[in-house]
């Protein structure tokens, strides 16, 4: 039995179905959006000419010159981080090699027309003579042999056959070896373009056969401007801070940045807060506030800010990385003050970062960096990332209340002052030492950098004191500082020129000290007047010395320049003493005997420990005042007494 529907005719392959063609009114016309499928920004705004490449001025200049001189290499090696334009540059080179111009009679050019058949086919990724291979998925020697076999045939349509091999470092060793001979002597109609993010994994034998170009990370300021132009073309409005945040997250990659910009436009994120939420980052201002609280030793405020960031969806491990980035920024601002005047950084980072750079010392910044650097690793391995991050922040708050190692050593060696750690909630001192009931010395604790920063450092033992229940809390950053030590007593004025030069070294003026001992001749030293002759008068050494003396001994000295020859410099005098000692040693009978017994032996440097740092014997000085007794030499206790008859009064 057959179904009665078996005899029904099938609908035509092209047509309106069983009921005839659909009328125009029944079939709506496709809109412009439906006719043109959406393309992501990274593909829509992919550079098509060398002029479109941003941040690669050196590469563009060299390639333009090569095409102008018709000296284009047969193999290129393009290296750089992801998204800086390696594959895009390879395709532009392929079009430049094969462009024939709008009239079909053009030759290789650095400015491909974009309308000839070769240009349009390469742009559409369908040109038969431009072959792209992903070495990450085709790593074997057989894949390379297919390429080598294809080089034997002439191009089907273009002028040159171009082989673009992406992630070339993924090829096996045998595949590289199979490619070497073809790379060294390629057919005249073949060009190889390799791209890699791991240049160190490419054999040197391959690198030596290629012209290498290092594509640089695109600067943040250039990325932000590029993203602004694209956002305007797309009809989106993003704030300057939002674009700067996207550019910073892109980390020099144009493709990564365009993907983030695409996401921001789709979500309607127009300001920095919205972009930070989209990226799962803490607001930059919140990171500044958090660092302020950490450096002030305020754990409650720091954890409150951390809770706010966590509630907004920020990863606390990423928050620690943001703090590391901010510490690096502050350290750069401290080391290079001119960065505060540039426009590469947002206004907030220049102003607030500059304030922190002026307030925090290098030792504080370095210790905080080490603590956070170790903390980031702890967060990655901890079972609960939030707990681990908060413990790192608490540790950093505690470290901000500790003196830096250099300050600790200085106080222990110079002032002999006992240091105390902050009291805990129960009134006991920190560092694990409990306070006695009478408030006397509570114990000995060991404070070291290794306990806070994770790095090895010499330990300094600190006595914890709690007299009368009062605890001194040393601090750094914004924390309450230790009492300033008593001012050092004023040093006596120098009595000789050599003492004055030594005073300059003691005041930590190494450049001036070197000039005084090497290039200055003393003409007259009669306190308070000093006359000197400098070998280079234009250096105005006398002014530098006068300025230092006015600071150390206000209004007590007058330094002037002279044209008189003066004495030899201190180093010249020291060299004379060394030469005299050397000659004296050479003439010593014992040395002569040794030299005779060992032919060819030479006398090394003569060490005279009685000489000072300038190689001169100690000076004999007279007292400056009547109150100061002269230096007297006494006879040994076992010396014979002098009899009256021994005196020759005549």
**Of the segments 22-31, 74-83, 330-339, 396-405, which one has the largest average pLDDT value?**
74-83
Flag whether pLDDT at 194 surpasses 50. yes
Tokens 């004055």 belong to 500
Q: Which residue has the higher pLDDT, 646 or 423?
A: 646
Say what the alpha-carbon torsion angle 150, 154, 158, 162 is, to the nearest 10 degrees.
Answer: 40
CATH of span 220-279: 1.10.8.60
Q: How is residue 604 written in tokens?
A: 């090394």
Flag whether pLDDT at 212 surpasses 80. yes
CA angle at residue 165 from 159 to 170, to 5 degrees?
165
Dist CA 248 CA 246 (whole Å)? 5
Q: Diameter of the chain by CA atoms?
A: 167
- Please report the pLDDT score of residue 18 as a whole number: 41
Question: In this structure, are residues 272 and 283 in contact, taking their beta carbons and an 8 Å threshold?
Answer: yes
Q: Which residue has the higher pLDDT, 465 or 276?
A: 276
Average the pLDDT over each of 180-189, 493-502, 600-609 and give the range with the smallest value.
600-609
Q: How is residue 525 written in tokens?
A: 């030293």
CATH of region 41-214, choose from 3.40.50.150, 3.40.50.720, 1.20.120.1200, 3.40.50.300: 3.40.50.300
> pLDDT digits over 400-452, tens only?
877 766 676 666 666 545 444 444 433 333 333 333 333 333 333 333 333 33
Q: Residue 303's pLDDT band (boundaries 50, 70, 90)?
A: very high
C-alpha distances in Å from residue 484, one per residue of 44, 129, 362, 488: 64, 78, 20, 11
Q: How is residue 445 written in tokens?
A: 């604790």
- Residues 360-364, mean pLDDT to the nearest whole number: 87
- Residues 265-293, mean pLDDT to the nearest whole number: 80
Q: Which residue has the higher pLDDT, 292 or 436?
A: 292
- Please report the pLDDT score of residue 574 as a whole number: 80
Paired sense of beta strands 443-447 and 460-464, if any: antiparallel
- Residues 147-157, mean pLDDT to the nearest whole number: 88
- Residues 530-550, mean pLDDT to the nearest whole number: 84
Element (H, E) at 145: helix 141-150
Average the pLDDT over each of 103-112, 174-183, 399-408 and give the range with the smallest value.
399-408
- Residues 282-289, mean pLDDT to the nearest whole number: 78
> pLDDT digits over 253-269, tens only?
899 889 989 888 888 87
Same CATH topology for 220-279 and 284-397? no
Tokens 């606390």 belong to 316
Dist CA 223 CA 24 (whole Å)? 48
Average the pLDDT over each of 57-71, 336-350, 531-545 and give the range with the smallest value.
336-350
pLDDT > 90 in the chain, percent:
14
- Please report the pLDDT score of residue 643 as a whole number: 56
- Please report the pLDDT score of residue 517 as a whole number: 82
- Please report the pLDDT score of residue 622 as a whole number: 54
Q: Residue 394's pLDDT band (boundaries 50, 70, 90)?
A: very high
Dist CA 397 CA 301 (whole Å)? 10
> Domains of the chain: which residue ranges?
41-214, 220-279, 284-397, 401-464, 491-625
> pLDDT digits over 14-41, tens only?
444 444 444 444 555 555 545 567 788 8
Flag whether pLDDT at 165 surpasses 50. yes
- Please report the pLDDT score of residue 414 as a whole number: 63
- Please report the pLDDT score of residue 476 as a whole number: 44
Flag whether pLDDT at 595 surpasses 70. yes
Q: How would you list the strands of the sheet with 520-526, edge to edge?
A: 520-526, 529-534, 558-561
Q: Residue 91's pLDDT band (boundaries 50, 70, 90)?
A: very high
Flag whether pLDDT at 275 surpasses 80. yes
Flag whether pLDDT at 90 surpasses 90. yes
Q: How is residue 611 written in tokens?
A: 């000489």
- Residues 481-503, mean pLDDT to the nearest whole number: 71
Q: Which residue has the higher pLDDT, 595 or 44?
A: 44
Query: What Rg, from alpha-carbon coordinates, does the chain have?
Result: 40
> pLDDT digits over 516-539, tens only?
888 888 888 888 888 888 888 777
- Please report the pLDDT score of residue 13 as a whole number: 47
- Residues 459-483, mean pLDDT to the nearest whole number: 41
- Please report the pLDDT score of residue 282 as a whole number: 59
- Please report the pLDDT score of residue 75 as a whole number: 92
Flag whether pLDDT at 341 surpasses 80. no
The residues near 467 (Cβ < 8 Å, ≥ 6 apart) are 439, 440
Element (H, E) at 132: strand 130-134
Flag whether pLDDT at 225 surpasses 60. yes
Mean pLDDT of the chain: 77
> pLDDT digits over 42-62, tens only?
888 888 899 888 888 889 999
**Fold type of domain 284-397:** Zinc Finger, Delta Prime; domain 3 (1.20.272)
pTM above 0.85, yes or no: no
- Please report the pLDDT score of residue 589 as a whole number: 82
Dist CA 343 CA 347 (whole Å)? 8
- Residues 181-192, mean pLDDT to the nearest whole number: 88
Q: Residue 5's pLDDT band (boundaries 50, 70, 90)?
A: very low
């Amino acid at each position: 039995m057959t179904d009665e529907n078996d005899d029904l005719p099938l609908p035509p392959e092209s047509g309106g179905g069983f009921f005839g063609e659909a009328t125009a009114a029944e079939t709506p016309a496709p809109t412009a959006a439906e006719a043109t499928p959406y393309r992501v920004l990274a593909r829509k705004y992919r550079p098509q000419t060398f002029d479109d490449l941003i941040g690669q001025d050196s590469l563009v200049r060299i390639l333009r010159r090569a095409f102008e001189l018709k000296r284009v290499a047969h193999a290129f090696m393009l290296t750089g981080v992801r998204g800086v334009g390696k594959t895009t540059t390879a395709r532009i080179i392929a079009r430049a090699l094969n462009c024939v111009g709008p009239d079909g009679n053009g030759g290789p050019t650095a400015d491909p027309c974009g309308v000839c058949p070769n240009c349009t086919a390469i742009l559409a990724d369908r040109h038969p003579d431009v072959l792209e291979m992903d070495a990450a998925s085709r790593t074997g020697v057989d894949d390379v042999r297919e390429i080598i076999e294809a080089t034997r045939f002439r191009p089907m349509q273009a002028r040159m056959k171009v082989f673009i091999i992406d992630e070339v470092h993924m090829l096996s060793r045998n595949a590289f070896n199979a490619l070497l001979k073809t790379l060294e002597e390629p057919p005249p109609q073949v060009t190889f373009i390799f791209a890699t993010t791991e240049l160190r994994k490419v054999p040197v034998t391959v690198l030596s056969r290629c012209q290498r170009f290092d594509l640089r990370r695109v600067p943040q300021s250039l990325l932000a401007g590029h993203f602004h132009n694209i956002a305007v073309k797309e009809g989106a409005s993003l704030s300057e801070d939002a674009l700067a945040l996207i550019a910073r997250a892109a980390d020099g990659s144009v493709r990564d940045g365009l993907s983030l910009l695409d996401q921001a436009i789709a979500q309607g994120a127009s300001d920095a807060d919205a972009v930070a939420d989209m990226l799962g980052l803490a607001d930059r201002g919140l990171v500044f506030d958090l660092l302020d609280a950490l450096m002030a030793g305020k754990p409650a405020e720091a954890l409150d800010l951390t809770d706010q960031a966590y509630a907004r969806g920020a990863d606390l491990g990423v928050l620690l990385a943001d703090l590391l980035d901010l510490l690096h920024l502050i350290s750069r601002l401290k080391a290079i003050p001119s960065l505060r005047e540039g426009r590469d950084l947002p206004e907030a980072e220049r102003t607030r970062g500059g304030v922190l750079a002026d307030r925090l010392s290098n030792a504080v910044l370095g210790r905080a960096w080490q603590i956070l650097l170790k903390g980031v690793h702890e967060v990655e391995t901890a079972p609960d990332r939030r707990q681990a991050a908060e413990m790192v922040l608490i540790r950093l708050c505690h470290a901000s209340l500790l003196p830096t190692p250099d300050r600790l050593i200085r106080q222990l060696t110079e002032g002999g002052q006992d240091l105390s750690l902050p009291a805990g909630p129960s009134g006991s001192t920190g560092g694990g030492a409990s306070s006695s009931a009478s408030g006397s010395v509570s114990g000995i604790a060991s404070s070291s950098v290794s306990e806070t920063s994770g790095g090895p450092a010499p330990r300094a033992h600190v006595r914890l004191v709690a007299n009368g229940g009062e605890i001194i809390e040393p601090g750094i950053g914004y924390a309450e500082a230790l009492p300033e030590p008593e001012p050092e007593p004023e040093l006596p004025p120098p009595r000789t020129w050599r003492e004055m030069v030594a005073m300059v070294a003691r005041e930590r003026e190494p450049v001036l000290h070197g000039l005084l001992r090497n290039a200055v001749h003393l003409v007259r030293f009669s306190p308070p007047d000093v006359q000197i002759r400098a070998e280079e008068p234009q250096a105005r050494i006398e002014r530098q010395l006068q300025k230092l003396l006015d600071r150390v001994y206000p209004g007590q000295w007058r330094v002037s320049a002279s044209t008189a020859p003066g004495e030899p410099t201190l180093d010249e005098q020291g060299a004379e003493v060394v030469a005299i000692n050397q000659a004296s040693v050479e003439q010593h009978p014992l040395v002569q005997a040794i030299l005779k017994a060992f032919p060819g032996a030479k006398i090394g440097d003569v060490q005279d420990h009685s000489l000072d740092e300038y190689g001169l014997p100690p000076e004999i000085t007279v007292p400056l005042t009547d109150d100061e007794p002269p230096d007297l030499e006494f006879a040994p206790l076992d010396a014979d007494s002098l009899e009256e008859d021994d005196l020759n009064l005549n």
